[in-house]
Chains A and B, each alone.
Chain A
Amino acid sequence: MESAFSSADLSAIWLTFKLAAVVTVILLLVGTPIAWWLARTRSWWKGPVGAVVALPIVLPPTVIGFYLLVAMGPSGPLGQLTQSLGIGLLPFTFAGLVIASVFYSLPFVVQPLQNAFEAIPERALETAATLRASARDTFFSVVLPLAKPGFLTASVLGFAHTVGEFGVVLMIGGNIPDKTRVVSVQIYDHVEAMEYASAHWLSAGMVVFAFVALLALYTLNPTGRRRS
């Protein structure tokens, strides 16, 4: 067992979980207002905005990777912004991977939240308003408890989808140990170098992780029992 994971594998595992955790927290903060707006608005913009949010589901990761690489490069708009702020360039950095993953996993957080918000009856919000609850009160005492299953689904899917990211990381990561060499890339390198035993350990670990994550989701959050 002691040779199952090398120290490079362990640092890739740690990096992957750190990336997924940071991305999930950011996505819950960013995704909640977007999902709320999408759930409640009657604006003409609902369709276009919803479509933009869903784009990463259908776009090949290479498209996202290519545009991010160019946009974050020295002559791209993001690259010029980060350079003028003194941050330098984002490709091949952990921060760059976080930004890419936020784009890449956005729909997996926004869509479950949007569904949960849409399921909250208008009357619950009206009642809160007649009791003179502030918007903040309403959100924490009415919306949050009612949408709890949605938040759980969003967190698990956002986290798991980020762990499963490969193509985008390969294109903008640069494969740097402890910064951008995540588990999926590490597996790819093991396979290319014909280190099949190491590839097996990491791959089997990913299968177990994915299964447990989804099992937890379906056990804690049975969709059939949700009432709206």
Chain B
Amino acid sequence: MRSISQFSARLLIFVCLFVAGQTAHAGEKITIAAAADLKFALDEIVVLFNKTHPADQVETIYGSSGKFHTQIRQGAPFDLYFSADIAYPRALKEEGSAGSEVQPYAVGRIVLWSPSRDAGRMTLADLADPAIRKIAIANPKHAPYGKRAEEALKAAGVWEKVEAKLVYGENVAQAAQFVQTGNAQAGIIALSLALSPELAKQGGYMLISDKLHQPLEQGFIVTKRAATNPLAQAFASFMAGQEARAIMTRYGFVLPGEVK
């Protein structure tokens, strides 16, 4: 019995310390909702940002841009919103849900990616090959990368041949994961994901010409709830800085004000 009460006492002390530690945290905390294609690039940027703001916390949540748009309209507790389609933050700005101007931060590119075959030598027409039974793209209904993938397949004249083989990820990262697990033999995903350490070691990619689809112009806003939050503003300006831009470039994004 004694050991049990000792254990409870220790547990109680631990819980108290934990709670105290939480409340004693002096810094600010912001939450960023970001398009799934930013997963690896933004994670690196946040690590750099944390070095200059060691007391503060930056939390990132990745998903489809359309979903976050809906959630922010319904008052979701996000302080910054990075969308793979600049139209979403623009719509929020018009409705008065934004706390800043809409900042273009990158233009995304789509690639054909496959770990099981040499995608670097493939063309979109090769997707009609019967050996490719499933092709993963993001859901064109609400994921910007899915919309562009559909446009590119149509512009390349292969849509009719591949439509029956398409499987739709909830966002572009899930589309990549369908291919990575081998359940789909090829996929059209974000260049930024194909360049990520995890996927880069698994296979080649073929850059899809940006003449085949509308540009993937991406933009972010500080949301209305964070309009006066200094940490959110600091992160927004950090995105325009040299360090952040270098990381974005490394992940294949074309940056605003840069000539391709």
- The answer to whether A174 and B70 touch (CB under 8 A), given A73-B183, A189-B142, is no
- The answer to whether A192 and B183 touch (CB under 8 A), given A174-B136, A176-B167, is no
Residues of B within 8 A of A70 (CB): 181
Bound state CA distance, A174 and B134, in angstroms?
Answer: 10
The interface-forming segment of A15-23, A84-92, A131-139 is: A84-92
Residues of B within 8 A of A189 (CB): 139, 141-142
Main secondary structure of the interface of A (DSSP, over half): loop
- The answer to whether A192 and B168 touch (CB under 8 A), given A73-B181, A74-B183, A92-B134, is no
Nearest Cβ distance between residue B188 and chain A, in whole angstroms? 14
Residues of A within 8 A of B56 (CB): none
Output the nearest chain A residue to B116 by Cβ-Cβ distance: A74
A29 adjacent to chain B (CB < 8 Å): no
- Inter-subunit contact A192/B66 (CB<8 Å): yes
B157 adjacent to chain A (CB < 8 Å): no
Residues of A within 8 A of B142 (CB): 189, 192-193
Residues of B within 8 A of A35 (CB): none
A170 adjacent to chain B (CB < 8 Å): yes
Residues of B within 8 A of A74 (CB): 182-183
Q: Which of A75-121 contact B (CB under 8 A)?
A: 75, 79, 88-89, 91-92
A38 adjacent to chain B (CB < 8 Å): no
Nearest Cβ distance between residue B186 and chain A, in whole angstroms? 13
Output the nearest chain A residue to B164 by Cβ-Cβ distance: A176
B151 adjacent to chain A (CB < 8 Å): no
Residues of A within 8 A of B168 (CB): 174-176
Nearest Cβ distance between residue B107 and chain A, in whole angstroms? 23
B114 adjacent to chain A (CB < 8 Å): no
Residues of A within 8 A of B133 (CB): 88-89
> Footprint of A on B, CB under 8 Å?
64, 66-67, 69-70, 133-134, 136, 139, 141-142, 166-170, 178, 181-184
- 15 new A-B contacts at CB < 8 Å, known A69-B183, A175-B170, A191-B70: A70-B181, A72-B183, A73-B182, A75-B182, A89-B183, A170-B170, A174-B169, A174-B178, A175-B167, A189-B141, A192-B70, A193-B66, A193-B141, A194-B66, A194-B70
